[in-house]
Chain A
Amino acid sequence: MMDQAPGSLSAHDRASRNLQLTGDGQLRHFITLDGLDRVMLTDILDTADSFIEVGERTIKKVPLLRGRTVVNLFFESSTRTRSTFELAAKRLSADVLNLDINTSATSKGESLSDTLLNLEAMASDMFVVRHSQSGAPHFIAESVTPGVAIINAGDGRHAHPTQAMLDMLTIRQNKHRFEGLKVAVVGDILHSRVARSQIRALQTLGAEEVRLIAPGTLLPADVDSLGCTVEYDMRKGMADLDVVIMLRLQKERMEGALLPSEREFYRLYGLDTEKLALAKPDCIVMHPGPINRGVEIESAVADGPQSVILSQVTNGIAIRMAVMSMAMSGQVAERAGRSRQQGGEQ
């Protein structure tokens, strides 16, 4: 307020940075990559490297979150993502509760709040949240259960930050740097929370160019504001690429008149051997899965030497272990700070 001109009115400030970080800059929620700097993202990748080493041991488990309760709150079902979060939490020795909540039963905000408050009362330390609405994890962290660490496992079209960070880990393992990299994200950018988080991560970590390759119907209206280059012609767009990330295409895009057919989409935007040959020879191919073979990508490419799709799965567990332990650590530090403060006031 003090730095504003007299009389100017501003929208109520709810910057995501303040929400996710403790007073001294530690992670306490992991909701979006917005507001996290390069140092923080690098710390996450480094910590994940340590967890990859743990995954290679006879006993792939560390006692970090022993006695903590992690609740997987999936308002939108996803066996795959939930399994990796569950495995990550168990490898951190946490107690894990899986809740698949039918969204129709909680479409009213009040019952969503009630559900969460009940879970908080059961001494939950962390919620891993997947929700069909953009901003749902923000809402929970801000208004419902601020004392519980919130990990975003995908919200609407907004963000899927753990997926993006595991992709960054995969890129770093293969390219050993981000500076100078040209990375393309191909396909349904408009509806993709994964793409939004990947763009943010690549920009923060210093990639030279993030290129979006898609037809106009699958791009956001104000795509220019995202700071990427846009290419409608995939053959042109493959030039000089170090990394190509294919997005999953949902069947319902045909029904909404966004695309004519899977066949035409594959012909124009599917990654086949011929199009891949237009990129750099050491260009790696990524896909967040599950793959629609013959829709986004040719089998020979998905299973080929340039594909790193399987290592993405291994990295997913390590990244989730990293952000869960870091966020829990921030919550712990904050609780310790709170109790010190209360002690001082007495």
Chain B
Amino acid sequence: MTSETDPRTHQRESDTVMTDLPAVPALLDEIELGLRRYLNERDIQRPLLVGIRTGGVWVASELHRRLGLEEPWGELDISFYRDDFSRIGLNPRVTPSHLPFETEGRDLVLVDDVVMSGRTIRAAMNELFDYGRPSSISLVALLDMGGRELPIQPDVCGERLSLPPSRRVKLVGPEPLALELREVKA
């Protein structure tokens, strides 16, 4: 597993501005611990993990391994549910969502890499409800960047960060998983 101590990370993209970002393995440790505690508190015995493409799927598969779950994890592509179709149109690389289980009456754990405005989570929840009525949905995120535009909060998160509005964090991977800081072009 990589981290910001890996010198190559700093050279990955010349336009990538690096500051001190948390190490991914440490964040994964944090959310694994948090999720175990959370599921225990809620008495959720058989959670189903659902990752949001693409970063969330990587995190979900890692959590799935660490929790030793038997049932497979699911993958969501929220392209058809985004609320910015009228501004940017359809994602040209949409791939099918894949939920290899019944969701009706189950406890779903939605997993994403970074939570910001909350719009992606809104879209993901809309999509999940088109598969049936789950008993509950919880939210796990590696990072919470603040800047929320909707009343959505992660139940478990690795760390809270605050960045200037011109910067975004992105999870790159899957081997190795690492966080990258990017400048948003105006």
Q: How many A-B residue pairs have CB under 8 A?
A: 60
Complex partner residue of B95 from A26, A46, A329, CB under 8 angstroms = A46
Among B80-126, those with CB < 8 Å from A are: 80-81, 85-90, 92, 94-98, 126
Give complex CA distance A43, B93 in Å.
8
User: A58 near B: Cβ within 8 Å?
Assistant: yes
Given contacts A59-B129, A64-B80, contact A53 B97 (CB under 8 A): yes
Main secondary structure, interface of A, reads helix
Residues A47 and B94 in contact, CB atoms below 8 Å apart: yes
> Which among B88, B90, B95, B126 has the highest number of chain A CB atoms within 10 Å?
B90
Stretch at the interface among A81-89, A151-159, A330-338: A330-338
Give complex CA distance A158, B94 in Å.
30
CB distance from A278 to the nearest CB of B (A): 37
Given contacts A57-B130, A58-B132, contact A333 B80 (CB under 8 A): no
User: A310 near B: Cβ within 8 Å?
Assistant: no
Given contacts A63-B81, A64-B80, contact A333 B95 (CB under 8 A): no
Residues of B within 8 A of A332 (CB): 85-89
Give complex CA distance A332, B79 in Å.
15
CB distance from B78 to the nearest CB of A (A): 10
User: A326 near B: Cβ within 8 Å?
Assistant: yes
Residues A26 and B89 in contact, CB atoms below 8 Å apart: yes
Give complex CA distance A190, B94 in Å.
37
Interface residues of A (CB under 8 A from B): 26, 43, 46-47, 49-50, 52-54, 57-64, 325-326, 328-330, 332-333, 336
Interface residues of B (CB under 8 A from A): 77, 79-81, 85-90, 92, 94-98, 126-127, 129-132
Taking A26-B92, A332-B85 as known contacts, 5 extra A-B pairs with beta carbons closer than 8 A to each other, sorted by chain A number, are A26-B89, A53-B97, A329-B85, A332-B86, A336-B87
